Chains A and B, each alone.
Chain A
Amino acid sequence: MARYLIVRLGLGLVTIAGVVLLTFVLQFSLPGDPARRIAGPRASPEVLATVRANLHLDDPVASQLVTYVSDVAQGDLGVSYIRRRPVIDLVKERLPATAVLAFGGLLVEVLLGGGLGLWDGLRRRRSRVLAAGNVVLLSIPTYSLGFLLLVVFAYRLDLLPLGGGTSLEELILPALTLGLFGVPYYAAVVSESTRTALASPYMRTAVAKGLPRRVILRRHVLRNCLSPVITLAGLDVAIYLSGVVFVESVFAWPGIGQLQEQAYNELDRPLLMGTVIIAAVVVVAFNLIADVVRVLVDPRARVEEAG
C-alpha cells in the first residue's frame, strides 16, 4: 500500500506539471491583450507599452515559462493583474466557501441520486417517471434551475435567504441546485449496479442460503454500488472544487468559480493560471483519494494493489 501511494503521489505531481504546461500554452490562445485589460481601454499606447514591459509580456515565451514554473515550484502564483494582490491569497480566501458548497452538493446528489437509483434498481421494470425526471433535470440549464428555486423558496415563500452569504441556511439552495444536476447520473449508475448485483450468481447463492433481505441488500447490493458511486463522487468533488460558476453566480456564493469568471473576463492571467493550478491539485488529490478508498472498500483490490 505504501509503495502504491508513493508511486501515485509521484505520478500526481507529473500530472500537475502537465496541467501547468498545458494551461500555460492554452492561455496564449486566449484572445486579447492583458496590458489593455490592466490599464483600461483608454490607456495610451505608451502606457500599454510600459505595462507590457513591467509584466515581461514581450519576453520570449520560453523564458516566460521558465520564470513561471520556477515561481510556481516555490509556491508563488504571482500577483493578480486586476486585484493587485497575491493570487495565492485570493484563492485561499475563496477555498473554504467552495469546499462547503462542493460537499453540500455532493451530499444531495449521493443521497437523493443514490436513493432513487436503489429504488429504481430494485423494481422489476425501470421507472419511466424517473427516467423522464432525470432527462428534465439534465436539460434544464443550471442557472435557470437555481433561479427558479430561488424565486420559489426565497422570494415567494420567504423560507430561505436570497443569498450573498455562506451560512448553513444560505447553503441549502445552492447545494440543492448543484446536487440536482448530478442526481440523474447517480440514479442511473446505482440502478444499473443494483440490477447487475441482483442478477449475479452470488446473489443466487445468497438467496439460496436464505439470508434475510436486509442483509443481502446491505452486503451485496449496496457494496456493489459503492465502487461506481465513489468514482463519480471523486470526479464531482474535483469538478466542484475547481469552481462552479453558474451556481455561484445565481446565489452570489463567494467561491473559486466567481474568481475564475472574473479572471477570464479581465484576462487576468496570473489569477487564471493560479485557479487552474489549484484546481489541478484538487482534482489529482481527489482522484487519488477515490482510488485509494476504492482499494480499501474492496478487499480483493487491496490484495492486488499490495502485491
Chain B
Amino acid sequence: MPPTVADPRVTRRTLLQGAAAGGLAAYVAACGGSSSKLPPASSGGGAAVSGAVPGPPAGGGVRGGRVVNAFDVEGNGYDPAIAYTSTGWEAICDVLYSPLYSYDTDNSPRPNAAAAMPKVTSGGTVYTIPLRPGVKFHNGRAVVAADYKYAWERVLDPKIQSWAASYIYSIKGAKELYHRQAQELTGVEVVDDHTLRVTLVQPDVTFVYALTQPFMAPVPKEEVERLGQNFADTPVGNGPFKVGSYDSQGQRYVFTRFDDYYWKGLPYLDEVEFRWGIDQSVQLLMMQRGEIDIMGYGLNAQSLAETSASDRLRKYRFEQPLLASRWINLHPRVEAFRDVRVRQALNWATDREQLQRVTGGEAVAWGAPFPKDILGGARTFQPYTLDLDRARSLLAEAGSPTVAATLWVSDSPEPQVGQVLQQQWKAIGVDITLKQVSYATINDLSIKDKCDAWVSTYYAIYPTAIDVISQYWETGGSANYTHYSNTDVDRLTAEARGTNDPKARNALLAQVEAKVGEDAAGVFCENVNWIMGRNPDRLRNFNYSGVYGAYYDRLWVAT
C-alpha cells in the first residue's frame, strides 16, 4: 500500500481550550433529569451535603457508580500550572483540584476552598483571604496558606513555563520573580496557616477572577519534590477525586473518589474515567451502546450535523450559550479597510442568519462586538443586521473603492463561515479570496501583519468584558494585531478596571462596546454556543461550565 496522508483534525475544542482554557458559560440549569424527581436526601440512598457549595445544586445525589468521558485527544498533562487543554484542563478543574473561589450560577465568585470572600482594603490593593479549615490534600495533609504561596511561585517560575504567569502579574513582586530579580513572591504574605494576604501593584477588579482558576489551586511542595517529572501526569491535589490509575499507553485515566473531600457528602461517584484518542463518530456509537457517558470535546461540525439529523441521536446533545463571540478582523494593510464606511458596509452586508444555519447551531447570529450576556443588561449598542441597501450606500459614500482581500481561515467552522461570507459579500462587489491554514499559522502571520483578514473567536474566562477589551480592542492589547486604537476605549477601560460596583463598571464597558461597534473594528458575526454529547438516560444532575467543564463533584448516575 502506498503512503497516504494523515488526518490530524483539529477540532473546535482544541481551539476553544487553546484559545481560552474554556469559555464562561451563562449557566443553564440541570439537564438530563432533574433531581427533584428522585428520592430526596433524607429518604433512601440520597446523601446530604453540608454547606453552600458554589455553582449548580449539589444535594440529593446517590453515592456510587462511575462515569466515562471520552475526548478526541489528550491534553498537555495534568499539572495545574501547565495544563490548558482537553483532558488536562478538565482534570484540574473539579476533579483533582478545587480553587479558592468558584463561579456561582450568576457568574459571580463564591468561596470554595476559601472560607469567605476576600476582604479588600487599602483602596483595592490588599486582599485578605481566609482559608476554609479541613481542606486536605489527597495525601492526607491539611492544606495551609503556604501551599498557595508555593503554588503561585511555581506558576511564576520561568522553568515551569506556565501559560498563566502573566495572569497574576497584578500581584506585587510577580514580575520580578518571573524575571529572576527576586527570590520570592513578596506580594503574598502567609499571615497564619489559614490566612493569606495579597498585595497588588494597583487596584484590579479582575484579581478575584484569577482566584477562581485552577492554576491558583494549592500544590503540596513535598509531593512535587517526591514525584519530580511524574507530577505532571499524576499530581496530588485538593479536589473531589484523586489519581486512581494513569495509563498513557492504553489512553485512559481513572480518578477515584477522595473520601476526605471538604464538602462532606461529595462527590457521589466512585470513579471518573477519561479516555482519549477516540474519534467523535465512534464516540457517538459508543454513547448509544452505553460505553461512554460524556463526549468531553465540543461536537465538531460533522457530529453537530449528525446529531441534528437523527431523531435517535438528538437526545444526546447538550447545549448552552457561552460568553463567547466570533468576528472577522480587518487589517489596515488593505487600504479599503482603513475607511470606517467600508468596514461598516461589510457589517451590514453580512447575513448572520445564514451563517448560523451552516454552523449547525454552534453559534447564533450576533452583530455586536462583545459576547451577548457579558454586559449584564447595560448594552447600548444596536447590533448589526443584514441591510444590503445601507451597505451599498455606505460603499458609495466611501467612493466605491475596489475591495479585494484574502480571508484566512483555519479549522471548522471557519472554512464554512469564510465560504459563505465570500458569497454574501460578492453581492456588494467585495472580492474575497480564501486561504485555509492551521490556527498556529494564522496566529503567527497576523502577528507579523501579513494577513488581510482572519477569524477570531473569543471565549471569556472572566465574566467581564475587560478581558476581551484588553486582549483585542485596547491600544497595544495582547492580541490586537489589527492595531485598532481609540483613545475613548482606552480611557473608559482603565476607568472600569478601578470601578468596584458591577453596575457602574458595566455601564462604562457598554460605552466601550458602542465605540468598537461604531468603528466597525471587525465584522461581528456570531455568539458561540457550547454543544457537547452526554447520555441523559444515565446521568443525573449533569451540569456544565464553560470554564470548568462538567461538575463531577455533584454528578451521579441513575441506578
Contacts and interface: CB of A to CB of B under 8 A. Distances in A.
Q: Do A and B bind each other?
A: yes
Interface string B271-291: 000010111011001101101
Given A84-B229, A142-B4, A261-B6, A93 B279 contact: no
B437 interface: yes
Contacts of B7: 143, 245-246, 249, 261
B52 to A, nearest CB: 31
Contact of A265 (B14, B84, B165, B166): B14
Interface in B220-260: 229, 232-233, 248-251
A154 B285 contact: yes
A180 B162 CA distance: 46
Interface string A32-69: 11001111111111110011001000000000000000
Contacts of B2: 185, 239
Contacts, number: 162
Nearest to B251: A254
A202 interface: no
Interface string B434-460: 000110110111000000000000000
Contact of A41 (B1, B167, B443): B443
Interface of B: 1-4, 6-8, 10, 14, 18-21, 73-74, 76-77, 79, 82, 84-85, 158-159, 161-167, 178, 229, 232-233, 248-251, 275, 277-279, 281-282, 285-286, 288-289, 291, 437-438, 440-441, 443-445, 478
A119 interface: no
B232 A84 contact: yes
B205 to A, nearest CB: 19
A243 interface: yes
Contacts of A260: 6, 8
A44 B282 contact: no
A23 to B, nearest CB: 15
Interface of chain A, helix or strand or loop or mixed? helix
B104 to A, nearest CB: 24
Q: How large is the interface on A (under 10, 10 to 19, 20 to 34, 35 or more residues)?
A: 35 or more
Interface stretch (A160-168, A204-212, A219-227, A293-301): A160-168
A286 interface: no
B249 A162 contact: no
Interface in A108-165: 109, 142-143, 147, 150-151, 154-155, 162-165
30 contacts: A31-B445, A33-B440, A33-B443, A38-B161, A39-B163, A40-B18, A41-B443, A42-B167, A43-B165, A46-B178, A54-B161, A84-B229, A84-B232, A85-B232, A90-B248, A143-B7, A147-B281, A151-B285, A162-B291, A164-B251, A164-B275, A164-B278, A178-B1, A185-B2, A252-B279, A254-B250, A260-B6, A261-B6, A261-B8, A262-B73
